[in-house]
Amino acid sequence: MANPRGATGTVEFVNTTDSANVPLLDVSDVTVKFGGIVALDGLSFSIDRGTICGLIGPNGAGKTTMFNVVSRIYEPTSGTVKYEGRDLLAVPAHGIAHLGIARTFQNLALFPTMTLLENVMVGAHSQGSVGVWRAIARIGAARENRRIRDWSGDLLAQLGLARFAHVPAAGLPFGTLKRLEIARALAARPRFLLMDEPAAGLTHSEVDELGDTVLQIRRDFDLTVLLVEHHMSMVMRISDKVVAMEFGRKISEGTPDQVRNDPKVVAAYLGADA
């Protein structure tokens, strides 16, 4: 796939798009309560177009909860989430794909009985229009299948999965399936990609490779990325901005260097006395 900007690097994409002053995602004062437990406590942050934003924090900090709020799986108790200036909380769960938001899952949420190709084709669901009646009457169904099949095949090739295209997803190695998650998310032609711990469970060399893959797809697909990750070295390497959380609150925000050296972040990870 062609590189639309013909350049590498991480910073130059900040503020280069037309409506640069409106952040792509604007989370303000979001609170999520499960019964008596406060998973998110008045969290606010924003993500600019074309950037990679890392979301870090110890286990139970509320990172995945934040994620599920943006992908409309959890309903926040209060607060607002704006995407390109519109209220995301008014959109149903199945509507976010149509807005150009895609996500990957922490513990793999693939379709095990389908082949890799079919998995990616489901990822392109929002790119098609054939419903039940047109499927029965076969109006445009074959043409749409060809188009989506080719698009999905190209994506698999780009992520180095082409030789597994016709193999069922169940039973393939974890690292392969993690890449499949990315391919499936990209199939929706997203502008905003949410990645939930993409490096979890990968080996060292796979993590390095993944970092490069994320930079590569950001460039090729003109993406904004929200990255939830434990793997500090990868987050610090590829993020333009990092948000650190603890107990459902934001404790630090800034460039990777600023966050890394923030005493509050150090304390959260190593204990209060460190």
Amino acid at site 118 = E
CB nearer to another protein: pick between 148 and 242: 148
Instruction: Rule CB under 8 A: say whether 137 interacts with another protein.
Output: yes
Determine the interface stretch with another protein among 44-52, 57-65, 82-90, 129-137 (rule: CB under 8 A): 129-137
* Count of beta carbons in the 10 Å neighbourhood of residue 104: 23
Give 211-214 contacts, CB < 8 A, sequence gap 24+.
Answer: 211/237, 211/238, 213/159, 213/179, 213/182, 214/52, 214/238
**Binding-site member from 6, 35, 92, 171 for another protein (CB under 8 A):** 92
d(CA 274, CA 267): 6
- Secondary structure of residue 200 in the 3-state scheme: coil
Task: Identify the residue among 26, 41, 84, 144 touching another protein (CB under 8 A).
Answer: 144
Nearer to another protein, 183 or 238 (CB): 183
Work out the end-to-end distance of the chain between its first and last CA atoms, rounded to an integer number of angstroms. 47
Q: For residues 14 and 165, which CB has a smaller minimum distance to another protein in the complex?
A: 165
Q: Tell me whether residue 1 or residue 20 sits nearer to another protein (CB atom).
A: 1
Instruction: Calculate the alpha carbon distances from 40 to 31, 67, 230 in Å.
Output: 5, 11, 18
We find the least distance from the C-beta atom of residue 165 to another protein, in angstroms, to be 6
| Contacts of range 169-176, beta carbons closer than 8 Å, 24 or more positions apart | 169/110, 169/111, 169/112, 169/113, 169/114, 169/115, 169/116, 169/119, 170/112, 170/113, 172/116, 174/108, 174/201, 174/202, 175/201, 175/202, 175/203, 175/206
Specify the residue, 141 or 236, whose C-beta has the smaller distance to another protein: 141
Contact mark string toward another protein, 54..73, x via CB under 8 A: -----------------x-x
**Closest distance to another protein from the beta carbon of 56 (Å):** 23
CA angle at 47 for the pair 208 and 19, rounded to the nearest 5° = 120
Which backbone phi and psi does 31 adopt, to 5 degrees? -120, 135
The one among 51, 64, 65, 152 contacting another protein by CB under 8 A: 152
Tokens of 21: 């002053």
Minimum distance from CB of 67 to another protein (Å)? 11
Which CB sits closer to another protein, 13 or 67?
A: 67
Stretch that binds another protein, among 47-55, 159-167, 231-239, 257-265 (CB under 8 A): 159-167
Residues in contact with another protein by CB under 8 A are 71, 73, 92-98, 102-103, 105, 109-114, 117-118, 121-123, 125-126, 128-132, 134-138, 141, 144-145, 148-150, 152-154, 156-157, 162, 165-166, 184, 188
